[in-house]
Structure 1
Amino acid sequence: MADLVVKAAVKEELSDMNVSADFYEALDEEVGELLEDAARRAEQNDRKTVQQRDL
């Protein structure tokens, strides 16, 4: 799977904190699951467009 999060953006958002390398992998997995769930919800509602409400 491709990286789903931009490390520079995460570093900027958490600028007051150190971020471990394994955090990005875990965050990427969480985002992937969130996207899969949103896509599944859109499909269940007979839509091909994922919308805010699918989150």
Structure 2
Amino acid sequence: MTDLIVKSAVKDQLADQNVSADFYDALDSEVRNLLTDAARRAGANERKTVQPRDL
């Protein structure tokens, strides 16, 4: 499975915090779920284009 997040970008965003190694897997899972839900909403509205409103 491909990672959806960029670890260095996460580290940059959380520069003042320590980030545990397993945080990245959990974040990747959350992003994957968010994308799946957005695609489902777009499909439910008979669209193939995922839009910001699907989030």
How far apart, in 1, do the equivalents of 2:24 and 2:46 lie? 33
Note the C-alpha offset of 1:21. Answer: 0.5
Q: Percentage identity across aligned positions?
A: 71
Long gaps (5+) in structure 2: none
- The alignment status of 1:28 with 2:16, answered yes or no, reads no
CA RMSD between the two structures: 0.4
Q: Which amino acid aligns with 1:38?
A: A
How far apart, in 1, do the equivalents of 2:8 and 2:39 lie? 26
Q: What is the correspondence of 1:1-55 to structure 2 with a 5 Å cutoff? A: 1-55=1-55
Long gaps (5+) in structure 1: none
After TM superposition, the runs of 4+ consecutive aligned structure 1 residues lying more than 6 A away are none
How far apart, in 2, do the equivalents of 1:6 and 1:26 lie? 13
TM-score, with structure 2 as normaliser: 0.98
TM-score, with structure 1 as normaliser: 0.98
